[in-house]
Amino acid sequence: MEVRRAIDVAGIVQGVGFRPYVFRLATERGLAGYITNTAAGVSIEVQGARAAVDDFVVRLPQEAPPLARITGVAVRELPCNGDAEFRIVASRRGEAVRTLISPDVALCAGCLRELFDPADRRFRYPFINCTNCGPRFTITRNIPYDRPFTSMAVFPMCPACRAEYEDPRDRRFHAQPNACWTCGPQVALWDREGNAIFCEDPIREAIARLHAGAIVAVKGLGGFHLAADATNHAAVELLRERKRRVEKPFAVMAPNLETIARFCEIDDAGRALLTSVQRPIVLLPRKPGTPVAEAVAPFNRDLGVFLPYTPLHHLLLRDTGFLALVMTSANLGEEPIVIDNREAVVRLHELADCLLVHDRDILLRCDDSVVRPVAGAPRVLRRSRGYVPMPVFLAEEVPPILAVGGELKNTICLTKGKHAFLSQHVGDLENLESYKFFEEAAGHLQKILEIEPETVAYDLHPDYFSTRWALGVSGRKLIGVQHHHAHIASCMAENGLVGRVIGFAFDGTGYGTDGRIWGGEVLLADFAGFERAAHLDYVPLPGSAAAVREPWRMAVACLHHHFGRAFLGFDLAFLRERDPRSVETVLRMVERGVNSPLTSSCGRLFDAVAALIGLRSAVNYEAQAAIELEMLIGDCADRASYPLALEERDGVLVIGSLPLFEALLRDLKERVSPGAISRRFHMALVDVMGEVARRLRARTGLDRVCLSGGTFQNAFLLRHALEALAADGFRVFTHSAVPAGDGGLSLGQALVAAHQ
């Protein structure tokens, strides 16, 4: 007996090869009917023998294309009609608009095979792609996601490409960026003035120049990279000098997993991340004594590595004699990544020796994502290319909200229904270029997602650029959200939690409701509000921003806080190395309370310890001292821990560091190894977290713990805190898909605002 059913599929099912997949699934079973794109996803009707229709409905979600993300399937019975075949029907006008755009996707295995097949018509074509791979988000000007609304609009397809595009049996059916040597974009090599360099093969010429030690700007998916031979010490040093980047690590791209295994430890989690379609930069432990230049990641045990994700990358790296190439965002300092050819000539003039460009415009800048596997799960440190604009799926519907994030590592977030869309990494809003990018990203995201926010959520810090921007918005409800509350809400949202939790929010800086600088906070929180249940004790931050750049100031502030001027008589190496006048200046600031706001920051406690043990007195990038303190632990098997004091003041637990510093000073005197000291310090935090969590559970009955804030990007701390709290019977949640640091802040802001 024949039956007919309507099946509505919601989620990311457009631009990912879903219609040809359904066409094949239906025709293989001899079913008639049709499929069409709709506002929510796709609408399917199938008609045929009951068993075949049943089988179709079961298989549909199970065998969906790799890039599809199905969020809902609704099935209805219909009366049969005279349909005799299965058709792909054009989208109904105005309906295809409100669907999800796919992130950019790394080159698929099929296209990779063709790229290096001399018999293929796209042999060595640097823009080969199909419905399973290629650019999406970064070439989209507007919705719907159709070629005329992408930067491929200026490349009319040749007959051969057109035939593939129109054939539902073809892997390139409706692949919007479909192109070939005849009709598509082309590469060119330019000198730093923007003049074309005459050569037969620009890619081979670029490879030759890289081998000779040149720095080549390479146009990628979401922006330009600066490339250099990672084994060439002089080239890497030159790149650092030109980029004015002192010690912050560079990422390297290697041809394949086997090559990466020569200089990094790869476990299963690392391998899965490296080969995922998102192709993020993965932080992995480096092996000692490899040919990768030390200057790639000085003072760092980890190396950021990734695999080629565009055909151009594969052409640069396959069998070309490179162990790895440094591939770092092309920009000066912390400015946004360069995307436009002419802009590249102007802004990269002093940085690159030549430019490998192409004529497919990048419409949206999007940096590489950064991920580190910790405790069996990926931890996204920067969520950008490959992940954006894939939404975070929420447990509950929320109204349309724009959340503008923080100041550093900024992202913004837009919500719609049960979706929260985080923007790509915008960066540090301290410079004008980033600020422009912030406005651009906010505008573009609203346009392609068709969201008109009723509410704008922002951080309470009055000096954040994002806050000032939000306060200038008129006609919308404005809601300020406390920084650490937003961190915990972000963790709850990512994990689909509702109701109250015990939230540990540890980071460097966040504006507190008492006007002080918070950062070592334990909150009893839900989306609607929070109670500050515990925090690290306040110490002065002498010189504010200067204290962040110069951790030795925090060491002086902490020692003075606990021991008064008596500490000047202690035998401390870091003090002997300092000009006594600079120490005196800091002491006067602290004693007189001049430019010394009080802080409960956990990041600053790391700084103080790092400076005190002589590890680092000044930093060149954010959190450098804390990162190097973690690295110091290495394989140290010491089991001890420092004590921290826990004292109740006005119903709030205050965590005091006096016993910690006393024990640490004793260890310094007894010449305990720096690795052991660092480990004891980390374990002190783990222990006090357990103690605080137990007390709060006894008081409230809550047993769900959320860990958020940049400090939990510390792998050692995260691993041990997760273990210890779980062993204590807590259900522990932290971040995986969204950064624990300020890159995830906007998600939490949106959720808090939704509940006001």
Residue closer to Zn ion by CB (options 16, 665) is: 16
Q: Spell out the residues 6+ positions from residue 589 whose beta carbon is closer than 8 angstroms to its own.
A: 540, 542, 543, 595, 596
Nearest approach, Cβ of 221 to Zn ion (angstroms)? 14
> Is position 582 an interface residue for Zn ion (rule: CB under 5 A)?
no
Residue closer to Zn ion by CB (options 72, 156) is: 156
Residue closer to Zn ion by CB (options 137, 730) is: 137
Residue closer to Zn ion by CB (options 50, 121) is: 121
> Is position 130 an interface residue for Zn ion (rule: CB under 5 A)?
yes
Nearest approach, Cβ of 310 to Zn ion (angstroms)? 11
339 and 437 in contact (C-beta within 8 Å)?
Answer: no
> Is position 132 an interface residue for Zn ion (rule: CB under 5 A)?
yes
Under DSSP, the state recorded for 363 is -
Residue closer to Zn ion by CB (options 314, 409) is: 314
Among candidate residues 730, 741, 643, the one with its CA nearest the CA of residue 686 = 643
Nearest approach, Cβ of 155 to Zn ion (angstroms)? 8
Instruction: Dig out the tokens for 402 from the structure.
Output: 């724009």
Nearest approach, Cβ of 108 to Zn ion (angstroms)? 3
- Residue 577 CA to residue 574 CA, distance in Å, equals 5
- Bridge partners of 536? 655
Q: Which of 10, 133, 296, 352 binds Zn ion (CB under 5 A)?
A: 133
Question: What does the per-residue mask of binding to Zn ion show for 320-349, with x meaning CB under 5 A?
Answer: ------------------------------
With contacts defined by CB under 5 A, how many residues of the chain interact with Zn ion?
10
Nearest approach, Cβ of 599 to Zn ion (angstroms)? 51
Among candidate residues 235, 180, 245, the one with its CA nearest the CA of residue 211 = 235
Tell me the CA distances in angstroms from 625 to 281, 364, 539, 608, one per residue in order. 22, 33, 18, 9
- Residue 62 CA to residue 46 CA, distance in Å, equals 17
The beta strands (E) that lie in 138-215 are given as: 187-191
Residue closer to Zn ion by CB (options 138, 657) is: 138
Nearest approach, Cβ of 123 to Zn ion (angstroms)? 14
Residue closer to Zn ion by CB (options 131, 495) is: 131
* From 109-117, 417-425, 473-481, 746-754, span contacting Zn ion (CB under 5 A): 109-117
707 and 734 in contact (C-beta within 8 Å)?
Answer: yes
Residue closer to Zn ion by CB (options 113, 436) is: 113
> Is position 554 an interface residue for Zn ion (rule: CB under 5 A)?
no
| Secondary structure class of 96 (helix, strand, coil) | coil
Residue closer to Zn ion by CB (options 177, 741) is: 177
Instruction: Dig out the tokens for 367 from the structure.
Output: 């940096």
Residue closer to Zn ion by CB (options 167, 265) is: 167
| Secondary structure class of 593 (helix, strand, coil) | coil
Nearest approach, Cβ of 117 to Zn ion (angstroms)? 13
Residue closer to Zn ion by CB (options 182, 700) is: 182
* From 101-109, 190-198, 375-383, 577-585, span contacting Zn ion (CB under 5 A): 101-109
Nearest approach, Cβ of 320 to Zn ion (angstroms)? 22
Pick left, alpha or beta for residue 19 (phi over 0 → left; psi -120 to 50 → alpha; otherwise beta): alpha
Give just the sign of the alpha carbon dihedral 716, 718, 723, 724.
positive
Residue closer to Zn ion by CB (options 105, 684) is: 105
Q: Which of 7, 111, 394, 554 binds Zn ion (CB under 5 A)?
A: 111
Q: Which of residues 135-194 bind Zn ion (CB under 5 A)?
A: 158, 161, 180, 182-183
Q: What is the 3-state secondary structure (H, E, C) of 452-521?
A: CCCEEEEECCCCCHHHHHHHCCCCCEEEEECHHHHHHHHHHHHCCCCCCEEEEEEEEEEECCCCCEEEEE
| Secondary structure class of 232 (helix, strand, coil) | coil
> Is position 67 an interface residue for Zn ion (rule: CB under 5 A)?
no
* From 103-111, 290-298, 304-312, 584-592, span contacting Zn ion (CB under 5 A): 103-111
Q: What is the 3-state secondary structure (H, E, C) of 669-699?
A: HCCCCHHHHHHHHHHHHHHHHHHHHHHHHHH
Nearest approach, Cβ of 66 to Zn ion (angstroms)? 11
Nearest approach, Cβ of 152 to Zn ion (angstroms)? 11
Tell me the CA distances in angstroms from 212 to 102, 192, 209, 446, 587, one per residue in order. 39, 17, 5, 46, 52
Question: What does the per-residue mask of binding to Zn ion show for 277-296, with x meaning CB under 5 A?
Answer: --------------------
Nearest approach, Cβ of 128 to Zn ion (angstroms)? 7
Nearest approach, Cβ of 111 to Zn ion (angstroms)? 3
Q: Which of 16, 31, 53, 108 binds Zn ion (CB under 5 A)?
A: 108
Nearest approach, Cβ of 279 to Zn ion (angstroms)? 13
Q: Can you list the alpha helix ranges (DSSP code H) found in 255-340?
A: 257-263, 268-275, 311-317
Residue closer to Zn ion by CB (options 127, 530) is: 127
258 and 373 in contact (C-beta within 8 Å)?
Answer: no
Phi, psi (rounded to 5 degrees) for 205: -65, -40
Tell me the CA distances in angstroms from 21 to 42, 60, 76, 84, one per residue in order. 12, 9, 21, 19
Positions touching Zn ion (CB under 5 A) are 108, 111, 130, 132-133, 158, 161, 180, 182-183
